[in-house]
Structure 1
Amino acid sequence: MPDTPDFPHPVVDAPPVMFIHGLWLAASSWDPWQTRFGAAGFHTLAPTWPGEAPSVTDARAHASDQAGNGIDEVTAHFAEAIAPLDRKPIVIGHSFGGLIAQILLAADVAAAAVAIDPAQIQGVKALPLAQLRASFPVLGNPANARRSVTLTPDAFAYGFGNTLERSESDALYEHWAIPSPGRPLFQAALANFLPGSPAHVDTTARRGPLLILGGGQDHTVPESVSRSAHHRYHKADTDNDYIVLADRGHSLTVDHGWPDVADTVLDWLAQKGFGAPVSH
């Protein structure tokens, strides 16, 4: 599929699109998505996490600058980025970015949200063995809750690149991987045991449409976790959709198949009245 699709009807007066990355991928990993959504007529932005340097090189060199940031701090950071905008944005998040996108949507500061392989919200009880193994490099040491953590190429290959040739996984690691704070992972892991967890999402709030995308081969956020998150909305009087990409892993936003994922999101937005469908 070409990198720049044919959009016969540019978006007129559409909300801006804010991209939110998750742990271990840099904000700049959204650069190709910003180009694609820009071609579709959307204005886009992809802020860094608090303490994250703009470049991958600098983020690796200053890992401790992100240490200690949790879900509340990251969510507040993105809410601050939304505040100057002249209208509510569409928020598109991957992994922990998908959890934060749901929180922002429930707070009614976003027009719509897409959560791609989202980290589990409070109330999701699925805990597959693959997820335990993927999270062990962080959760295996309680001190990591106060640190920034760097994944090894092997850990990245298992958690992100398990559907890829190892050469592609290693290339993605070299190009996009950065250290990230361990605290959000501990907060999500303990969410069902702590009242007032920062991973809580008001699933009955009145707000705009939500799409949850699950990767059928994901190790970091297995499809059963994404599906369980969507089920948390089953009593909500709101627009909540779920799509499974059966053969995709956690790298789906950055690997060779990312254009198909982006076009799936663009088509869903068009169905909800935000722009025109992609011309395939």
Structure 2
Amino acid sequence: MNFAHARTVVFITGAFVSHFGWDPWKDHFESKGFMCLAPPWPFKDASPDELRQRHPHDLELATLTLGEVIDHYAAIVQSLQERPIVIGHSLGGLITQVIVNRGLAAAGVAIHSVPPFGVIPYALSFLRAGWKALGLFTSLRETYFMSFKDWQYAFVNGMPLAGQQQAYQQNVIPESKTVVRGGLTRVAKVDFEKPHAPLLLTSGSEDRIIPARLNYRNFKRYPQNGSVTEYKEFTGRNHFVLGQSTWKEDADYILEWLARLR
């Protein structure tokens, strides 16, 4: 794999939020000479307002599975002329790990990644932040929509109220409970022992839904077998890391990491 010529970046969005959150990252990476794509999940190719209007009776989105989302992004990656750099956040980070595990990426970056199957997420903050999205005792034919109160706890803790409200209006969209449940099944499995393209996992000290210690256990599952696997914890980052005022510092660290691989 000739990483030195990988100039395409595919950004993968996590659950609960719109893919438009990657727009500043795309602009920044493109200013550095990369060609960037941030394709939406299936049935999410619309504005946040339009997707909210479909809630809760968006049957196509409600019945979407994690396997279908993974295959959707794998197909996009495979359609490109070169193996791209894949960068994903949260559940998109998990999908990134799977795509890297399949040998489809030149390099991968998993930002505050949902851990693959087998890395048990027993942190109480993870359970508090995510259990409602599983939709226990509710219809799987209806979508889930995160409340502002849960958004404050799970994504934007530590931010001023006005910033929390603005981020909620601009980013939060309905979600498939079946996709969220899929993150706890073998669909989310990776072979940690398999050699792979360079992979960076990042975490944030203030993240509640994916605590830094959970990211670190995810990282530690990869043996030092010759594949480049690195870990970086950022101070002060919550789960809304892509949209925090510090996002460019994180993006620049990733760009520097990629440059070191060349």
In the TM superposition, what are the counterparts of 1:59-138 in structure 2 within 5 Å?
59-63=51-55, 64=58, 65-138=60-133
Cα root mean square deviation, aligned: 1.6
What's the counterpart of residue 257 of structure 1? 246
Bigger CA drift: 20-29 or 180-189?
A: 180-189
Instruction: Classify the secondary structure of the residue corresponding to 2:241.
Output: coil
- AA at the equivalent of 2:91: F
Q: CA deviation at 1:126?
A: 3.9
Deviation track 1:192-223 (CA, whole Å, cap 9, x = no partner) reads xxxxx101011122221000001111111111
User: What do the CA deviations read for 1:242-272 (whole angstroms, capped 9, x no partner)?
Assistant: 0001211100111222111111111111111
Q: How many Å apart are 1:163 and its aligned residue?
A: 2.3
Is 1:224 aligned to residue 219 of structure 2? Answer: no
Spell out, residue by residue over 1:105-145, the C-alpha distance to the aligned partner (whole angstroms, 9 max, x if none). Answer: 11011111000010111121241111111013223624365
Out of 18, 21, 28, the position equivalent to 1:29 is 21
The residue aligned with 1:276 is none
Alpha carbons 2:6, 2:82 under 8 Å: kept: no
Look up the equivalent residue of 1:83 and give its one-letter code: Q
* Residues 40-49 or 213-222, more deviating: 213-222
2:206 is equivalent to residue 211 of structure 1: no
Q: 2 CA distance for matches of 1:202 and 1:68?
A: 27
Aligned residues: 256
8 Å CA contact 1:121, 1:201 repeated in 2? yes
Answer yes or no: is the 8 Å Cα contact 2:134–2:178 preserved in 1.
no
Shift of 1:234: 2.3
Question: Contact 1:111 / 1:207 at 8 angstroms: preserved in 2?
Answer: no
Q: Does residue 187 of the first structure (1) align with residue 182 of the second (2)?
A: yes
Contact 1:137 1:155 in 2 (8 A): no
Distance 2:140 2:214 in 1: 22
**C-alpha distance in 2 between matches for 1:162 and 1:98:** 20
Find the residue that maps to 1:206 and give its secondary structure: coil
Whole-Å Cα distance in 2 between the matches of residues 142 and 108 of structure 1? 38
Give the deviation of 1:14 after TM superposition.
Answer: 3.4
The separation in 2 between residues aligned to 1:14 and 1:111, in whole angstroms, is 7
Q: TM-score, normalised by structure 1?
A: 0.87
- Contact preservation (8 Å) 2:157, 2:238: yes
The amino acid of 2:160's aligned partner reads E
Q: Counterparts in 2 of 1:107-186, with a 5 A limit?
A: 107-139=102-134, 141-143=136-138, 145-186=140-181
TM-score by length of 2: 0.92
Secondary structure in structure 1 of the residue aligned to 2:68: helix
1:17 aligns to what? 9
In structure 1, list runs of 5 or more residues that go unmatched.
Answer: 1-11, 192-196, 274-280
Residues 125-174 of structure 1, C-alpha deviations (whole Å, 9 max, x = no match): 24111111101322362436553211011111110001211221111011
Structure 2 unaligned runs (5+)?
none
Output the CA distance in 2 between the equivalents of 1:125 and 1:131.
Answer: 11
Q: 2:233 aligns with which of 220, 239, 244?
A: 244
1:44 aligns with 2:36: yes
For residues 151 and 126 of structure 1, the distance between their equivalents in structure 2, rounded to whole angstroms, comes to 20
